[in-house]
Amino acid sequence: MNNKAKRLKLILFILFSTVFFGSITYKLILISGGPIQEFDAHILFAKKMAEEGRIVLPHFLFQALTIVHHSLLSIINLPTHEITGINDKYTYDWGFAAFLVMIEIYVGIALLLFFHLNSRRQSVSNSVSENSAYFVAFGLSIVAPLFFLAPLDNQYYLGYITPSSLYIIPTQVLLKFPSLALFLLIPKFFSKRHHDSQRNLAFLLCTAGLVTLSGLAKPNWLLVMLPALVITAMSFYYRKQYINWTALLVIFLCSIVLLAWQYYFKFSDPLSPIYKSQILITTPFEVWRFFSDHIFIKILLSVLFPISLVLLFWRDAKKDFLLRQGWLLLLIGLFYTAFVGESGKAKYAGNFFWCSYIACFMLFVASASFLFQNWPVLNKNSRSKAMVALGVFCLHVACGLIYYFRSFNYSFV
C-alpha cells in the first residue's frame, strides 16, 4: 500500500473517531437535560478557575484545557445561552470549549493505540493487515465488561471493572491519554537496548511531563503505577537484570511531589474550596458492595479476555513483559478499590474505583497487544485457541457498543 493510501486511511480513522465519540459528547455537553453526567460540575469549575485566577481542584487538567480552548474560541463570539445540566447551568461557549477538549482526547487515545499496535505488527510480521490495527485500536477505545448480569440487576457498569470510557466523566477519559503513553514506555525502563535514549534529556523531560499530566488529570494512575514499578524494579534487581535508575528516579520524584501537593490541597489546606474528608481503610469491598452485588462474578466478567489469554497461551503469555505488568497493575488497582475509601459524606463517592478502572484498561491494552503481535504464531500453532481469544475480545467490544448507544438515553449505571 502506498503512502497516499495510508494517509487517507489514517484521516478516515480520525474522522470516524471524531464523529463516533463526538456524537455522545455532544449529547452530554451541548444538549440540555442529557443523561446523568458530571460535565456541568467540571465545566463550572473551569469557569470558576478562570474568573478567580486560582486552582480550585487538586486535579485540574481538564479545567485548564477548557480554559485555554475557551480563550482561543473567544475570537469567534460563540453563543452564550444557558444549557441546563443535571446539577447546574453553564453557558454554551464554555460547553463548546469542553466539547472540543473531549474530542481531541478521544481521538488522541485512538491514535496512540493504533500507532502502538501498528508498530508491534511491523516488528514481527506483515501478515497481519493494517486494517486489523485500526479495528483493535477502536475496540480498545470502547471495550466494556461482559455485563451478562444486567438482566438481573439492570446494571451495566456498577460492580464491574470497566476498561472503557465512562462517557459521562471527563477526568476519567482524560486520564487515559498520558497514562497510556507512560504505560507503553515502561518496558523501555527495563531494557538495556534503550539505555542511551533514556539518558537523553529530552526523553527524561518528556517522561516527567507525562507524569505531571497524568497526575493533574487524576492521581489514580500514579497510585497504581508507582507500587508496580517498585515491585518490578525489585524483581529485576534481585535477578541482576538491567534497570534504568535515572528514568525511574525522574518518575518517582515528579510523582511524589505532585501527589504530596494534591494530598495537602485535598485533605489539609484550610483554604481549599472542595469538600474535606480523610483517607481510610474499609472492610473488604465495603464501598463496592454499596453499589452492587455479585462483585466477584462481575470482576471475572470484566477481564474475561485477559483471563482467556493466560489460560490458552500461558507458556507465551508469561514471557510478555507488558502483559505481566498489566496484571500487576490490576491487582494493585483492585486493592485500592476493595480496601480504600474516604471518610464522611465522601465514603461512598468511590474515588478509588478509578485505580482499578485505569489498571484494567492497561491490562486490556497489554492483552490485545500480545495477541496482535503474536497472532501469526498463535494462529498457526493452535487456530482454535486463537479464534476463541479473538472471539472473547469481540464480545467485550460488542458490549462496549451496547454501552455506547445506551449512554445516549440512560444513566451510567
Mean pLDDT of 104-117: 96
For residue 320, with 0-12 CB atoms within 10 Å meaning exposed, 13-18 middle and 19 or more buried, which class applies?
buried
Least reliable range by pLDDT among 45-49, 80-84, 355-359, 366-370: 80-84
316-370 pLDDT per residue, tens? 899 999 999 999 999 999 999 999 988 877 778 788 999 999 999 999 999 999 9
Is residue 74 a part of any domain in this protein? yes
Q: Which residues pair with 413 in a beta bridge?
A: none
Position 69 confidence tier, pLDDT thresholds 50, 70, 90: very high
Mean pLDDT of 63-84: 92
Separation CA 285–CA 287 (nearest Å) = 6
- Enumerate helices (H) and strands (E) in the chain, giving the number of each: 18, 4
192 pLDDT above the threshold of 90: no
Is residue 411 a part of any domain in this protein? no
5 pLDDT above the threshold of 90: no
Is residue 312 a part of any domain in this protein? yes
Q: How many domains does the chain have?
A: 1
**Residue 409's pLDDT is what?**
83
Is residue 221 a part of any domain in this protein? yes
- What does the DSSP assignment read for 117-141? HHHHHHHH-SSS-HHHHHHHHHHHH
Of the chain, the percentage scoring pLDDT greater than 70 comes to 95
Least reliable range by pLDDT among 23-32, 137-146, 194-203, 260-269: 194-203
Q: Which domain holds residue 371?
A: 3-406
- Cell numbers describing residue 130: 493494517
301 pLDDT above the threshold of 70: yes
Q: 125 or 26, which is more confident? A: 26
**Residue 383's pLDDT is what?**
81
Sign of the Cα torsion 225, 231, 232, 234 reads positive
Mean pLDDT of 97-120: 95
Is residue 413 a part of any domain in this protein? no
Position 122 confidence tier, pLDDT thresholds 50, 70, 90: low
Within 8 A by CB and 6+ apart from 179, the residues are 214, 217, 221, 225, 358, 362
Residue 366 and residue 325 in contact, taking contact as beta carbons nearer than 8 Å: yes
170 pLDDT above the threshold of 90: yes
Separation CA 114–CA 131 (nearest Å) = 10
**Residue 208's pLDDT is what?**
95
**Residue 194's pLDDT is what?**
57
Least reliable range by pLDDT among 182-191, 337-346, 393-402: 337-346
195 pLDDT above the threshold of 70: no
Mean pLDDT of 19-33: 91
Least reliable range by pLDDT among 63-72, 112-121, 342-351: 342-351
**Residue 284's pLDDT is what?**
87
- Cell numbers describing residue 117: 499496535
**Residue 130's pLDDT is what?**
85
**Residue 349's pLDDT is what?**
78
Residue 315 and residue 374 in contact, taking contact as beta carbons nearer than 8 Å: no
206-262 pLDDT per residue, tens? 999 999 999 999 999 999 999 999 999 999 999 999 999 999 999 999 999 999 999
Mean pLDDT of the residues in the chain: 90
371-388 pLDDT per residue, tens? 988 887 777 778 888 899
**Residue 313's pLDDT is what?**
92
Residue 215 and residue 59 in contact, taking contact as beta carbons nearer than 8 Å: yes
**Residue 254's pLDDT is what?**
97
Is residue 297 a part of any domain in this protein? yes
**Residue 126's pLDDT is what?**
57
Separation CA 123–CA 125 (nearest Å) = 6
Range list of β-strands (E), 271-319: 279-281
**Residue 374's pLDDT is what?**
84
